A = this chain, B = another copy of it.
Amino acid sequence: MTPKPSPRVQPEPGLPTRVTVYEVGPRDGLQAETDIIPGSVKAELCRRLYAAGSRDLEVTSFVPPTWIPQLADAAEVVAAVDVPDGARAVALVPNLRGLQRAIDAGVREVAVVVSATESFAKANLNTTRSGAIDRATEVIAAATADGIPVRGYVSMAFGDPWEGQVDTAAVISAATALHGAGARTIALGDTIGVATPGLTTRVVNETLAAGIPLPNVALHLHDTYGQSLANVHAALLLGVAEFDASVGGLGRCPYARGATGNLATEDLVWMLHGLGIETGLDLGALAATTEWLSRIRGIRAPSAVARALAAAGLDTTDTAQEAPTP
């Protein structure tokens, strides 16, 4: 028996007709791995993601190798990946030194991180909340002077493992600082995956009210508490059209070991295609990529769609794409 495709409907009025799925698997997904993954595997992962239709890919991070040994091969990975025409290959950079290393490696788009909370700034960025904003602002100025677009993350925008509920005003001030400095996209991060749709709606609405245009807003969600797709749905209803995801649900929550990590690309794409929203991605090729990487890593990926397709014996057919539209 071959299971049949995801039921599809026409796009609901008011929803975006096309969504950018910003793939963070090679960077955010793999950076938490304790076993060092060879650069050649990372480069092959990027190649497979581009082949699956990804055009918006965060390939690595130029943090000091002493901070995250897993990412010491950043330049090697960048050199090994051919970026298709019209596709992006973004690298995270923590500071001006990282920006220079990225540029030297041939990177032409970067991302920076700030924190909505003091606790995360201290624990993860080794600075204060305003220190992180200053550092990001420096990077944005230097990069844009060099014609390099910058994506800005606001971490802990919905909840913080130390502080609990996060002051939305602190999120908005961090977001507007990045936007004012010239960051192209502001990615609001639910780093610990605690948000529910009401809070998502409120934070997105306040971000828009602060003057950041809708096309410049993205959501970076983790699925730690299983809430990420419900939050995507809430944000779609507001018109948000860019969401971060990680193939197979790669990635972990460093504050809750054993818990689920990033929103899985396959689960997001299943929902978007079911809503009649275009992504340019091939669901079967994504699931096959997850299977390939799961075999190499010797683990089962947490993506529900990847598991269901594998359990049903499907491989590379993007059944969701072939469903009739009633």
Contacts and interface: CB of A to CB of B under 8 A. Distances in A.
Interface stretch (A43-51, A87-95, A130-138, A160-168): A160-168
Contact of A6 (B194, B310, B312, B324): B194
A198 B12 contact: yes
Contacts of A166: 7
Interface in A211-257: 223-227, 229-230, 232-234, 253, 255-257
A112 interface: no
A125 interface: no
A206 to B, nearest CB: 12
Contact of A275 (B6, B194, B198): B198
A158 B7 CA distance: 7
Contacts of A324: 165
A260 interface: yes
Interface residues of A, number: 67
B12 A201 contact: yes
Interface string A266-308: 0100110111100000000000000000000000000111011
Contacts of A163: 4
A7 B165 contact: yes
A86 interface: no
B198 A308 contact: no
A291 to B, nearest CB: 13
Contacts of A264: 226
A323 interface: yes
A258 B255 CA distance: 27
B7 A260 contact: no
A284 to B, nearest CB: 14
B256 A4 contact: no
A274 B193 contact: no
B255 A312 contact: yes
B274 A196 contact: yes
**Could you say which of A3, A201, A324 has the most chain B C-beta atoms within 10 Å of its C-beta?**
A3
Contact of A307 (B202, B232, B260, B275): B260
Interface in A64-97: none
Instruction: Give me the 7 closest cross-chain CB pairs, A-B, nearest first.
Output: A196-B274, A4-B164, A226-B304, A226-B267, A258-B311, A9-B198, A259-B308
Interface of A: 1, 3-12, 158-166, 168, 192-199, 201-202, 223-227, 229-230, 232-234, 253, 255-260, 264, 267, 270-271, 273-276, 303-305, 307-308, 310-312, 323-324, 326
21 contacts: A1-B255, A7-B159, A7-B199, A9-B198, A9-B199, A12-B198, A164-B323, A165-B326, A198-B274, A224-B304, A225-B308, A226-B229, A226-B267, A226-B303, A226-B305, A227-B229, A227-B270, A227-B271, A258-B310, A259-B311, A260-B304
